[in-house]
Amino acid sequence: MASHPVLFLPGPTEVEKELREIMARPIIGHRSPEFVATVLRICEGLRALFLTRAHILFESCPATALMEAAVRNLVRERVLHLVCGAFGERWLRISRACGRRPESLAVEWGRPNLPDDLRRKLLADGPFEAVAITFNETSTGVCNPLRDLAAVVREVAPESLILVDAVSGAGGAELRFDDWGLDLAFAGTQKCLALAPGITVLALSERAVDRAAKTQDRGYFWDFARAAEWMAEGQVSATPCIPLVFALDHQLERIALEGLENRWRRHTEMQAEVAAWAARAGFRFLAEPAYRSPTVSALFNSGHRPADLLARALRAGFVIAAGHGKLENEIFRIGHMGDHTPERLHLLLHALS
């Protein structure tokens, strides 16, 4: 048993001891040759993670900052937001707060955004400068059909940029940036990368960088055009969280050793483990089977008090989550992401039984 409660949250997730120890290394200068080499190595590791040859950036900030940066850099007026949960709604609110004219294509929480609905919306109300999609909705455990949604945008509205919140998906669910024709995808270190919170990583297409370079008042800290130039040279625009950069470098090596498709497969196996357990224990999923997330399972409480379920897990040495937002008292969530294994998940599920 671990010396601390093991996190099966939908973020932040558990960080292995090996990675925690790396973050205790002595600090080095962020302009030193050693650090420049580390940045360039991380960029190659992230290209392998996103399956892209596009621009790679990372910065010390929460992923919510990327929602704002995406709007400020890539949208002048009209953006369409696909909303199926709390974080899709957050991105929509951010667009409004930035003074843009966003529209939403919303579905009931627990349901996915579907390609046919998107096609009708684009044909009826387009054009939009960008379409913002939540790949894996952490609040509901829904994994949207991103490949099919992106294909609709490329067919019906090829001038629209495809912007993807992949925060709880990248590294745990299949995501192919180049093959699917994406323009922006971002993720936080605290989810499927299984590191401490504090860095957001992203892939950015060439046409997105070109759009940013022509957008006025896009800000300073997150200027995509400037950041892309700097990072191509192994430079960061401001002092980052250096211990977490060390850990990210090492974790990308570990992911490469495991193999990205093997990592996706392990997450799918954990989702299947939860589904089998839920069927035996009488818990019902919020999401339909075809759209269940491989990284976050959201289940109805089925007559149990959420606090009792969380307390039962904690007594066994695990931490799980209640629902988020308007689902706070209706569901509980298990984050089986990052470096968790089916074997460790089995211990949690046995304790909940």
Query: Alpha helices, DSSP H only, in the chain?
Result: 17-22, 33-50, 63-74, 86-97, 115-125, 146-156, 206-213, 224-232, 242-258, 260-281, 306-315, 342-352
For residue 313, what is the domain's CATH number? 3.90.1150.10
Residue 81 has pLDDT above 70, yes or no: yes
Alpha-carbon gap, residue 178 to 1, rounded angstroms = 41
Count Cβ atoms within 10 A of the Cβ of residue 113 and give its class: 0-12 exposed, 13-18 middle, 19 or more buried.
Answer: buried
Secondary structure in 3-state letters for 225-248: HHHHHHHHCCCCCCCCCHHHHHHH
pLDDT tens per residue, range 298-337: 999 988 888 899 999 999 999 999 999 999 999 999 999 9
The model scores a pTM over 0.85: yes
Based on the structure, what is the number of domains in the chain?
A: 2
Q: Average pLDDT in the 216-243 region?
A: 95
Q: What is the amino acid identity at position 289?
A: P
pLDDT tens per residue, range 46-75: 999 999 999 999 999 999 999 999 999 999
Confidence of residue 223 (pLDDT cuts 50, 70, 90): very high
pLDDT of residue 91: 98
> Which residues on neighbouring strands pair with residue 161, listed in sequence order?
130
Q: Are residues 152 and 301 in the same domain?
A: no
Alpha-carbon gap, residue 168 to 152, rounded angstroms = 23
List b or e across 114-135, with b for residues whose CB sees 16 or more CB atoms inside 10 angstroms: bbebbbebbeeebebbbbbbbb
Q: Are residues 99 and 134 in the same domain?
A: yes
Residue 195: Cβ within 10 Å count: 26
In a domain, 131, yes or no: yes
Q: Are residues 224 and 302 in the same domain?
A: no
In a domain, 1, yes or no: no
pLDDT of residue 24: 97
Residue 272: Cβ within 10 Å count: 13
pLDDT of residue 41: 98
Q: Are residues 36 and 123 in the same domain?
A: yes
Q: Average pLDDT in the 103-131 region?
A: 98
pLDDT of residue 306: 84
Sheet holding 78-83, edge to edge: 55-59, 200-204, 184-188, 161-165, 130-134, 78-83, 101-106
Q: Average pLDDT in the 247-274 region?
A: 98
pLDDT of residue 1: 57
In a domain, 129, yes or no: yes
Count Cβ atoms within 10 A of the Cβ of residue 288 and give its class: 0-12 exposed, 13-18 middle, 19 or more buried.
Answer: exposed
Answer for the pair 84, 144: CB distance below 8 angstroms, yes or no: yes
pLDDT of residue 353: 86
Alpha-carbon gap, residue 135 to 293, rounded angstroms = 10
Q: Are residues 252 and 270 in the same domain?
A: no
Q: Are residues 118 and 242 in the same domain?
A: yes
Q: Are residues 113 and 232 in the same domain?
A: yes
Q: Are residues 169 and 236 in the same domain?
A: yes
Q: Are residues 10 and 24 in the same domain?
A: no
Please give the share of the chain, as a percent, with pLDDT higher than 70: 100
In a domain, 285, yes or no: yes
Q: Are residues 59 and 168 in the same domain?
A: yes
pLDDT of residue 302: 86
Kind of pairing between the strands at 184-188 and 161-165: parallel
Q: Are residues 110 and 209 in the same domain?
A: yes
Last residue of some domain: 231, 256, 281? 256
Last residue of some domain: 256, 279, 301? 256
pLDDT of residue 141: 98
Q: What's the domain range around 287?
A: 6-14+259-352
In a domain, 344, yes or no: yes
pLDDT of residue 110: 97
In a domain, 295, yes or no: yes
Q: Average pLDDT in the 155-184 region?
A: 98
Average pLDDT across the chain, whole number: 97
In a domain, 157, yes or no: yes
In a domain, 218, yes or no: yes
Last residue of some domain: 217, 240, 256? 256
Q: Are residues 171 and 232 in the same domain?
A: yes
Q: Average pLDDT in the 21-35 region?
A: 97
Q: Average pLDDT in the 102-124 region?
A: 98
